[in-house]
Every structure is written in structure tokens, then in C-alpha cells.
Chains A and B, each alone.
Chain A
Amino acid sequence: MRAIFWKELGDHFGKKRFNLMLGLVLVGVLWATFVDTEAMVRSGTGSFYLDLFTTTLGVPLSLLSFLSFFGPIIGITLGFDSINSERTQGTLSRILSQPVYRDAVYNGKFLAGLFTLIMVVLSLGIAAVGVAMFRFGLPPSSDEVLRLIGFGFVTIGYLAFWLALSMTASIFLRNAVASALVSIGIWIGISFFIVFASSAIADRMVPDIEEIEDQARHTNIQLWVGRVSPERLYTEATGTLLDPIGGRFLNPLGVAPERLQGLLLSPVSAGQSLLLVWPHIIALLGMIATLLSVSYVRFMREEIRS
């Protein structure tokens, strides 16, 4: 498997499309960091390193939403043709007639993609924090470091979901173009239309929201349906991790202004925030595991014709 892992890793970093994506995202992140940090230093409040990712002071799109948009594309770029291009090239049957287990091919490809994602997230994170450190002139506190590590981990998990999804598509669909389109289609559907779908379902189930209890039920349903989407899981989890004060609630009803009256708004520790989003992380990992096992079973039982 090691041979496959290294070859795939080399392939990823040698591909034009990947380097283009990486360059684009890197430029975007660096630019946003420059502008955001400047604005933040000028306004001068808050938890610098954490707000850096959620602020819209400098650039109207926060770094977090930037990542939640571009992350899936990077994940899909890495996986959408991983198996089917080998099939169309005719290399799959040649590789599988070498003394390697079939799962070694699959695992090697997934791990190489995952490792690439880790490198991407690490380099983006280090670049952003580095620029910020230069601007702020003070290092992040230990609590901030913990939160940033948690944030990085969840981001890797989020990108890995899209990698797993596009690899699954590449196993089920013989055509690389079809696989890319389906992956992107699922991404758009799951990330954007889930908003409409969740409110439509909530409206249907709780048509009357005059009473405060009904309103709560309506919001809850909307929230739970929305959590089907990994994009929602990701933004909720990272939003909580990056916000020590607001991050003590997950339910927006909890932060309704009238409920906050009399509440002492003190920040919670990183561990407490992590505990709060633990189910999100598990759900995300569970989605990845489901996709991987479905495609794995399919790939292992498939007949490989040349």
C-alpha cells in the first residue's frame, strides 16, 4: 500500500488543477487575513485569533465561510476521478494483477487524498495565523491554540467528507465528468437547498407558530433537518469552537436576546466548547465512514475488466 500511497500523493501535488485550486485558496486566505487583521487591529476588541476566522470586518466573506465554500471543491478535486480514470486508462486491471490487495489500492488512494488535505489545511492555517501574529504582535493563548487545533481538525474532517463522497462517485460512475458533476450537484444540493428544505419541512410539520412552544418546535425541526448537511455541521461546530462566549449555546433560541438577560456572558473553556460540538464531529466522521464502507464494498466485489 505504501507504493500506492506515495504515487498518489505525488500525483496530487503534480496535478495542475490541484495546484491551481491550492494557489487560489491560498491567495484568497492570505488576502482576507491581511485585510481582516488590519480592520480588527483598528477596531481593537475581541479574541483576536479566533475572531480572525469569523470576522466580516475587512472582507465581507469570513475566512470560515470561505473555507466552507472552497473546501468541498478541493475535496472533490482530489477524489472525483481517482478510480474511474484508472479504469478508463486501463491501468486498474494492470495494477490489480500485481501482488497487492484490492483494498490497498482503495485505502492508499484515500489516505493519500486525506494526507493532501491535511497538508492543505495546515499550510492555510499556518499562513493565516502567521500573518495574524505579525499584525497583532502577540502570540495566541493556550486556550486559543486548543480551539484552533480543534478548528483545524474539524476542517480536515469536513474536507475528508467531500473526498470520500467524490471517491464514492468515482467508483459508482464510470465517467469522470459524470462523477465530478454528481459530486458538485450533491454539494450544492446539500449545502444550499437544505436551507429551503429544512424550513419547508418545519412549516409543514408546525404550520402555526403563534405560541412560543410551537415556535421552538419549528426552529428545532428546522435545525435538525439542516444538520443532515455536513456543511451545517461544519459551520455549527467551527462557529462554536471559535466563539468562547456565544459558543456556549448551539440552539439559536438560546441566544435570543430576551433569554440572555441576566446571564453572565463569560467565556467557556476550549474543552467545554469541544464537548458541545462532539456530536457534530462524531456525525461528520460517521458520514465519512458510511461513504467509505459503501464504496469499499462495491469496489471489492466488482469485476475488473480491461
Chain B
Amino acid sequence: MSELLVEADSLVKAYGNFLAVNGLDLRLGEGEVYGFLGPNGSGKSTTILMMLGLTEPTSGGVKVVGYDPVRHPLEVKRQVGYLPESVGFYSDMSGRENMLYTADLNNIRRSEAKKRIDELLGMVELTDAMNQPVGQYSRGMRQRLGLADVLLKRPRVIILDDPTLGLDPTGIQWLLGIIEELSTNQGIAVLLSSHQLQEVQQVCHRVGIMSHGKIVLEGTVAELTAQTASGGFQLVLELLGGDDSLMTALKGLPSVTGCNRVGNNIVVDSNADVRALATATVIASSASLLGASSENRTLEQIYLRYFAGQER
């Protein structure tokens, strides 16, 4: 059993009468990547602030790396790296100088710090820009510098608040690769708060969906699919021809939940992978199959379905 690095028990944060976080429980173990989802204002950021001792919980408790962040803020901050939603650097200082300052604040010796900074800046591909003032950095570069800055203290837990915001697609893939690497090779626990559901699904071992200050759904993506019984797969068939009998045939396939005609396309919803069966059915019919594409958007569907249900 891996060590528990984050433990939150019935955590509450009230602003006046408004409960931003309302009885939240959360467990995060070593080497685990936890996707922290939820609409804006659902209390994700407040929870993160409480984990870092940047704001005090109204009631309940949270333990991070075994310490209470309110009582022992330094022990927590020594081992937890936090990348805020919009990370800020001193714009008149270079990337390297900014990181040296962080190293000073962490009491890392200069000689060691310099070596580690060069290493980390190499990892985030900022070696060329490291002596440029941060004011000249692009949003993506800043984000990468933020990641290097977070890793400087060799944390055991890292908290990333919407780290993919403003990154280009390659940047996002690169970041996800790093997250995966950190968790599997270095055993770092990662709390990833994000709106990019597809990406979360790609790297997260477990996912928690927050709504109105509570985690309303939690588990692996597969578990969530079962919990919400939403059916998670969508297959788009591009056809030439095709009639109602084909539709009936497709609807009759096992685990297909819905079948809609959109122009020349038929969209097949199912809760299992039906690509082989569906394409075979089309080929056996009178229609010609021009293309088939499937999007594995399970998490997004769970998410949308959950919140759509809430609206009503």
C-alpha cells in the first residue's frame, strides 16, 4: 500500500453564508495522478488553497504529507509544489534568476541550486531563453518555467491548477507526458485540476468531479462510466446511401444505446466498443462505408450528463 500524501476529511470553507467547500473528502496516494474536475466556482481552487495553508478551513481537516498545513505550514510547503492558475514571475528578472530566488527561499545551497536549475530548465526546454527577462516570455514558456520552478524543491506532491490553460496542443501533450513521467518514475502524487477533460482522462488514475463544494463522483474513469451508466463511446460512420433498415440493424447491436442520422453520417452511441460490429453491419448492408471515426470522450460525456441532470 502506497503512502497517503493528501487526506482531507469533511473539509468545509464558508465565506459568510456561502459554503465554497462543503464537506469534502479526498485521498491521494504516492505516485497517483488525481484529476480534479468541476465547473468554475465549484470550490476546486479553494480546496487547493486550504491544502497549502493559504486559507484556513472553517471546519474539518486536511493533512498533506502527514502535516496540518495550518499548524505546520513550512513542513507542508517544503514538500508540496503548487503551480497556480496564472503563475507569476518577476518580469524584470530572467527565468534563471527567478528560479534562483525560489531556491533561496527553499534554502537550497547556491552550487546545488544552479546545477538543478540548469537541469530543470533543460527539461522544460527553456535553456535558450533562461537569461531573458520573464517579461518577454510567452504564456506557454511561463507555464513551463512554472513547472520547473515547482519541481525545484523536489516535491512529493504537486498541485497543478489548470496547467494546460493557454498551452498549444503540442504543449499539452508534452505536459501530460511529464506528469506521467513524474508519477510513475518518481512516485510524485499529482493533483491535476483542469477543464480539459480528454487530457485528464489520458493521464489520471482517478478522477473526482466537484459540484457545489462536494465531490459528487469519484473513481477511475471505468468506474464512473458504470456509476453513471451513461454509455461512453461514440462512433461516427460516414456513409454513401444507407436506409432505415441499416439504422434498425445498428440499433439492434449489443450495447448500442442510440443511433442518429446526421446528414450523411450516422452517429452510434454505445457503452462498449462496437467499432468492429458496426462497420461489419454497414458493409453487409447496401450502403458503402466511406469512413468511421470514434472518439473516446467518455469522461466528457459523464461530466456533461452529470451537470445536465443537475440543471433540470
Q: Which residues of A contact B (CB under 8 A)?
A: 3-4, 7, 86, 89-101, 303-306
Contact = CB atoms under 8 A, between A and B. Distances in A.
A7 B99 CA distance: 13
A93 B74 CA distance: 14
A92 B88 CA distance: 8
B7 interface: no
B87 A99 contact: no
Given A93-B54, A304-B49, A98 B84 contact: no
Contacts of B73: 99, 101
B174 interface: no
Interface stretch (B29-37, B102-110, B199-207, B244-252): B102-110
B102 A93 contact: no
A4 B104 CA distance: 9
Contact of A3 (B74, B75, B101): B101
- The list of the 10 closest CB pairs from A to B, nearest first, reads A90-B88, A306-B84, A3-B104, A303-B55, A97-B82, A98-B105, A91-B88, A99-B78, A99-B77, A89-B88
13 contacts: A86-B88, A89-B91, A90-B86, A93-B54, A94-B82, A94-B88, A94-B89, A96-B54, A97-B81, A98-B102, A98-B153, A99-B153, A306-B86
Nearest to A98: B105
For the side of the interface on B, what is the size category?
20 to 34
B80 interface: yes
Contact of A303 (B54, B75, B78, B91): B54
A97 B88 contact: no
Nearest to B88: A90
B307 interface: no
> Taking each of A3, A95, A97, which has the highest tally of chain B beta carbons within 10 Å of its own beta carbon?
A97
Contacts of B101: 3, 7
A67 B68 CA distance: 49
Nearest to A6: B104
A186 B54 CA distance: 32
Contacts of A303: 49, 54-55
Contact of B105 (A93, A95, A305): A95
B45 interface: yes
A95 B77 CA distance: 10
A98 B49 CA distance: 13
Given A89-B88, A304-B49, 13 more contacts: A89-B89, A90-B84, A91-B88, A91-B89, A93-B54, A94-B89, A97-B77, A97-B80, A99-B74, A100-B105, A304-B55, A305-B45, A306-B84
